[in-house]
Amino acid sequence: MECLRCSSKRIAQVSGLVAAGCDWSSPAGERKGGAVPLSVGINSWDPNYLCFQYCLDCGQLQGQFPIPRKAELRAFKEKAKTR
């Protein structure tokens, strides 16, 4: 994998179990707790895990961005899912 901004191959991945809950807020000031939002680019295959990749050279978060406002709003309608 190469960085989407600088083409570096130094990509780090962060993942962690957040079964106790994930809190996040949107730019509009909305706050939510529960499962990791599936539509905002920080989730993995399971909503109980937070997962993202970033470049160690330029700091660019890897993924498909920008996240549309519609997807951001959808994240607040998602119900918490567990295994």
pLDDT the model gives residue 78: 63
pLDDT the model gives residue 80: 45
Q: What is the pLDDT of residues 10-61, one digit of tens each?
A: 999 998 888 777 887 877 788 888 877 777 778 767 778 888 999 999 999 9
**34 vs 8, 30, 31, 55, 70, CA distance in Å?**
34, 14, 10, 28, 19
Residue 83 has pLDDT above 50, yes or no: no
pLDDT the model gives residue 81: 46
Statement: the pTM of the whole predicted model exceeds 0.75: no
Residue 79 has pLDDT above 60, yes or no: no
